[in-house]
Chain A
């Protein structure tokens, strides 16, 4: 198939970007979206033009490194699919496809489609863990976990940290990302001792990193390639409220 691509080109964080139009020919429907960009980049290189910079690594939908707005949708038109797992059979010969980077205050553009997502690491460093220095763990069967809780914890733990939720959010909020981790750990007995300090630490780090607030628009969960449910944010809010009440009572 033949396609028209309109791609955001930006040479560096401080420079102005613009959309540039490219034509690609003979694209196989069996190619992944990123393989289609590979074809373009090979051609640009041979023509002496700089290839389009984009992040990617595992190309099997699990590392969370890839991500771009495709026709205005984070990761493109197919639900539950990262850009690397999106295949060209989802498009039609003659289509025009707009490709842009994630756009959010907390994710500044590095170059072309590449953005800086260090802000996500800061949220985890703010409390998204269980404090258990290596060697200090009790026997694994010391604390049984009801299967339903374990399954629900897994569902939230499936987050790949790609940032699609932030890119889709009208406020540029990272709340679904934070809530996924809060939910996973608050469902498990291992996460209880730090349950309330964790949620406060993570929300503080979230706000400091420049993410916007959550207004329950729900766009995040629609584009999430791993289907992290919106109700995780409800749990985060509940835990946050409880944590604040505890702090007030204590002081």
Chain B
């Protein structure tokens, strides 16, 4: 293709051989260790304080390393993990319903549509049980049964009840657990916490990641910070779509800057579109709000059978409703995985059967559940979600069916990492949503929290020692040429942004970029659309650098300047996402290509040609594709069927 070139395949993922059950043990045994007395001589920078970054910083500090932690928010407790609602998976099998480490592993590989690495996923399933123990010990108030034991529920696409939860605020409670562990280390002087600081560049010295350039968002001061290793836990890039369920500040800058310095970016096109979000209400919309997928356990999804039916939903009789998920997928019904539920919603809306003022919505109806279980029971399960819905829409979901529509929620792609979670730049580790590792082309519900905490509490603290054992590395000063150069890049970019002095706001560009991406790189993609998107993105990026207007200067808090830097990076990422989506001529998980579907509209994977991870190297002219072949020894690839 004319948009990229192909380089050598990636061959070494550092995953040990042998039976899959023993690989993690084997890696921990072969990895080098750092003597406790030497750990305090080693410094680790951790960017981001969500579930992955918060838990990693706390754990590394407990082990004795010196940790320097950074977040753009005013407190580490605000990272967007806090907003995760539904729950966290773990193979505890407390329900005695047939769950096991192997089944969680199997479900995750299958749910990821056979585009993830078996070794990594198995390790994730193994440590899932330790996460629950750890969090309970921290005082995380999980939901409990009357006997005092932990309650679990089933969650999107799983047939066992392995999801632990704390009402609709599981992410909040898990994050506060990690945050408290982190603050304990701050209090002990083992972690230096830097809030309202944004990483704007990675410093690479002699081929190793050795530090970052940060901007103090309050004073505007730009400094170079050094360490023996750098950990990026900076989250996903869903905000490239402008409208998403991500927090407003979520951005790709930390990982994109690392990518430009040589770290490969893997599978950028794998985007998760969550089926149950509150529909867009107008042009003023600044973000989208998720309604937990757990609602699909009791709510029934439907649209009118007839096109353009504008009656009040309560007046549409049963035989004129199409409960399309139950109809098309009788065995999973309303609980089909996210990618399938989202596309089905899009299809019925494309047929003109969408509901609500914009016709981009479907009903999620609780009338049957309320009749069967009683209002009190529904209130106990979903009360806070129903209230939130009413606050936003002004409609009472106990009386009128909710309206929902898919929205961008999570990005499975991210920086490429090996089994040790190390990027292609030695000394750079990437954890949580920021890496690409465990979810393949589609993430299962309640697995993001699991992965973030697995990486931060249990995986990284073991694997990073293998790297740090070679340290401490040469002490660096801000005058080191690599640091001076990185700092200069940052300063020039800020200067350039401020000096455009054009006539359009940052948000207006971001919104337009989001529309291009949603239209052409959203729920359904086609070669023609993606090519068009690449052209449009390039033209808009050009315009951005000529017309953006940022009022104020760089010497203090300037939120427009912060946004502008992030949007500038989103432009570059957006192009790579489209190229990745264009090159992957198959449909898998969250990536649906219009040209590759079965006669009844289901996704068609092409394992012959595309059973690989697409790891992209930054190129000044064109990106370079490196393929990491995926082999499946334990879970045999099949066409996913939820019928």
Q: Contact between A147 and B144 (Cβ–Cβ < 8 Å)?
A: yes
Residue A92 lies at the interface, judged by CB distance under 8 Å to chain B:
no
Q: Contact between B388 and A61 (Cβ–Cβ < 8 Å)?
A: yes
* Given A50-B551, A134-B55, A190-B136, A121 and B218 contact (CB-CB distance below 8 Å): no
Q: Contact between A134 and B458 (Cβ–Cβ < 8 Å)?
A: yes
Residue B74 lies at the interface, judged by CB distance under 8 Å to chain A:
yes
Residue B193 lies at the interface, judged by CB distance under 8 Å to chain A:
yes
Q: Which of A93-101, A110-118, A216-224, A230-238 contacts B (4 or more CB under 8 A)?
A: A110-118
Residue B642 lies at the interface, judged by CB distance under 8 Å to chain A:
no
How far does the alpha carbon of A174 sit from the alpha carbon of B443 in the complex, in Å? 40
Q: Contact between B282 and A28 (Cβ–Cβ < 8 Å)?
A: yes
Residue B289 lies at the interface, judged by CB distance under 8 Å to chain A:
yes
Residue B326 lies at the interface, judged by CB distance under 8 Å to chain A:
no
* Given A117-B74, A185-B139, A134 and B59 contact (CB-CB distance below 8 Å): yes
Q: Which of B33-41, B553-561, B582-590, B611-619 contacts A (4 or more CB under 8 A)?
A: B553-561
**Smallest CB separation, A176 vs chain B (Å):** 16
Q: Contact between A133 and B62 (Cβ–Cβ < 8 Å)?
A: yes
Residue B530 lies at the interface, judged by CB distance under 8 Å to chain A:
no
Residue B419 lies at the interface, judged by CB distance under 8 Å to chain A:
no
Q: Contact between A134 and B461 (Cβ–Cβ < 8 Å)?
A: yes
Residue A18 lies at the interface, judged by CB distance under 8 Å to chain B:
no
**Smallest CB separation, A118 vs chain B (Å):** 7
Between B137, B144, B282, B392, the greatest number of chain A beta carbons within 10 A of the residue's beta carbon is seen for: B137
How far does the alpha carbon of A147 sit from the alpha carbon of B150 in the complex, in Å? 9
* Given A35-B286, A57-B78, A124-B180, A141 and B149 contact (CB-CB distance below 8 Å): yes
* Given A134-B62, A134-B458, A128 and B180 contact (CB-CB distance below 8 Å): yes
Residue A172 lies at the interface, judged by CB distance under 8 Å to chain B:
no
Q: Contact between B144 and A129 (Cβ–Cβ < 8 Å)?
A: no
Residue A245 lies at the interface, judged by CB distance under 8 Å to chain B:
no
* Given A125-B186, A140-B92, A65 and B73 contact (CB-CB distance below 8 Å): yes
Q: Contact between A150 and B142 (Cβ–Cβ < 8 Å)?
A: yes
Q: Contact between A137 and B133 (Cβ–Cβ < 8 Å)?
A: yes
**Smallest CB separation, A203 vs chain B (Å):** 15
How far does the alpha carbon of A107 sit from the alpha carbon of B467 in the complex, in Å? 41
Q: Contact between A121 and B94 (Cβ–Cβ < 8 Å)?
A: no
Q: Which residue of A lies closest to B249 (CB)?
A: A57
> Number of contact residues on B: which range applies?
35 or more
Q: Which residue of A lies closest to B195 (CB)?
A: A118
Contacts of B80 in A (CB 8 A): 57-58, 63
Which residues of B from 505 to 553 have beta carbons under 8 Å from A? 505, 507-508, 549-552
Contacts of A117 in B (CB 8 A): 74-75
Q: Contact between A145 and B144 (Cβ–Cβ < 8 Å)?
A: yes
**Smallest CB separation, B569 vs chain A (Å):** 18
* Given A63-B80, A190-B137, A58 and B247 contact (CB-CB distance below 8 Å): yes
**Smallest CB separation, A13 vs chain B (Å):** 9
Which residues of B from 186 to 201 have beta carbons under 8 Å from A? 186-187, 193, 195
How far does the alpha carbon of A78 sit from the alpha carbon of B133 in the complex, in Å? 39
Residue A228 lies at the interface, judged by CB distance under 8 Å to chain B:
no
Residue A1 lies at the interface, judged by CB distance under 8 Å to chain B:
no
Q: Contact between B82 and A63 (Cβ–Cβ < 8 Å)?
A: yes
Contacts of A23 in B (CB 8 A): none
How far does the alpha carbon of A48 sit from the alpha carbon of B144 in the complex, in Å? 55
Residue A21 lies at the interface, judged by CB distance under 8 Å to chain B:
no
Contacts of B73 in A (CB 8 A): 57, 63, 65
Q: Contact between B392 and A141 (Cβ–Cβ < 8 Å)?
A: no
How far does the alpha carbon of A251 sit from the alpha carbon of B380 in the complex, in Å? 48
**Smallest CB separation, B574 vs chain A (Å):** 22
**Smallest CB separation, A7 vs chain B (Å):** 15
How far does the alpha carbon of A144 sit from the alpha carbon of B550 in the complex, in Å? 56
Q: Which of B166-174, B468-476, B594-602 contacts A (4 or more CB under 8 A)?
A: B166-174
Contacts of B378 in A (CB 8 A): none
Q: Contact between A129 and B281 (Cβ–Cβ < 8 Å)?
A: no
Which residues of A from 52 to 78 have beta carbons under 8 Å from B? 53, 55-65, 78
Residues of A contacting B: mostly:
loop
* Given A28-B282, A161-B75, A190-B136, A150 and B141 contact (CB-CB distance below 8 Å): yes
Contacts of B287 in A (CB 8 A): 59-60
How far does the alpha carbon of A120 sit from the alpha carbon of B176 in the complex, in Å? 13
> Number of contact residues on A: which range applies?
35 or more
**Smallest CB separation, B225 vs chain A (Å):** 19
Q: Contact between A132 and B137 (Cβ–Cβ < 8 Å)?
A: yes
Q: Which residue of B lies closest to A189 (CB)?
A: B139
Q: Which residue of B lies closest to A153 (CB)?
A: B141
Between A56, A57, A135, A141, the greatest number of chain B beta carbons within 10 A of the residue's beta carbon is seen for: A57
* Given A134-B458, A141-B94, A185-B139, A120 and B508 contact (CB-CB distance below 8 Å): no
**Smallest CB separation, B36 vs chain A (Å):** 13
Q: Contact between A89 and B394 (Cβ–Cβ < 8 Å)?
A: yes
Residue B138 lies at the interface, judged by CB distance under 8 Å to chain A:
yes
Q: Contact between A158 and B169 (Cβ–Cβ < 8 Å)?
A: yes
Q: Which residue of B lies closest to A45 (CB)?
A: B505
Which residues of B from 37 to 94 have beta carbons under 8 Å from A? 55, 58-59, 62, 73-78, 80, 82-83, 92, 94
How far does the alpha carbon of A59 sit from the alpha carbon of B290 in the complex, in Å? 11
How far does the alpha carbon of A19 sit from the alpha carbon of B195 in the complex, in Å? 28
How far does the alpha carbon of A58 sit from the alpha carbon of B149 in the complex, in Å? 32
Residue B179 lies at the interface, judged by CB distance under 8 Å to chain A:
yes
Our pick among B147, B286, B503, B551 for the contact of A38 (Cβ within 8 Å) is B286
Q: Contact between A111 and B556 (Cβ–Cβ < 8 Å)?
A: yes
Which residues of A from 17 to 42 have beta carbons under 8 Å from B? 28, 30-32, 34-35, 38-39, 42
How far does the alpha carbon of A124 sit from the alpha carbon of B388 in the complex, in Å? 28
Q: Contact between A139 and B133 (Cβ–Cβ < 8 Å)?
A: yes
Residue A173 lies at the interface, judged by CB distance under 8 Å to chain B:
no
Residue A154 lies at the interface, judged by CB distance under 8 Å to chain B:
yes
Contacts of B286 in A (CB 8 A): 32, 34-35, 38, 59
Q: Contact between B285 and A51 (Cβ–Cβ < 8 Å)?
A: no
Contacts of B284 in A (CB 8 A): 28, 30-31, 35, 38-39
Q: Contact between B137 and A137 (Cβ–Cβ < 8 Å)?
A: yes
Q: Contact between B78 and A111 (Cβ–Cβ < 8 Å)?
A: no
Our pick among A34, A46, A62, A121 for the contact of B76 (Cβ within 8 Å) is A121
Contacts of B457 in A (CB 8 A): 134-135
Q: Contact between B503 and A46 (Cβ–Cβ < 8 Å)?
A: yes
Residue B228 lies at the interface, judged by CB distance under 8 Å to chain A:
no
* Given A58-B82, A65-B78, A110-B557, A140 and B133 contact (CB-CB distance below 8 Å): yes
14 cross-chain CB contacts under 8 A: A30-B282, A31-B282, A50-B552, A57-B78, A58-B82, A62-B172, A81-B391, A89-B394, A117-B74, A124-B179, A129-B138, A130-B139, A134-B181, A140-B92
Interfacial residues, chain B to chain A (CB-CB below 8 A): 55, 58-59, 62, 73-78, 80, 82-83, 92, 94, 130, 132-134, 136-139, 141-150, 166-167, 169, 172-173, 176, 179-181, 183-184, 186-187, 193, 195, 218, 245, 247-249, 281-282, 284-287, 289-290, 387-388, 391-392, 394, 457-458, 461, 503, 505, 507-508, 549-552, 556-557, 559-560
* Beyond A150-B148, A185-B139, 20 additional pairs, beta carbon < 8 A: A30-B281, A31-B284, A42-B507, A44-B551, A45-B551, A58-B78, A60-B287, A63-B83, A110-B557, A121-B75, A121-B183, A121-B195, A124-B183, A125-B183, A132-B134, A134-B58, A134-B457, A145-B144, A190-B136, A190-B139
The 6 closest A-B pairs by CB, nearest first: A144-B148, A125-B187, A137-B137, A129-B180, A154-B141, A137-B133
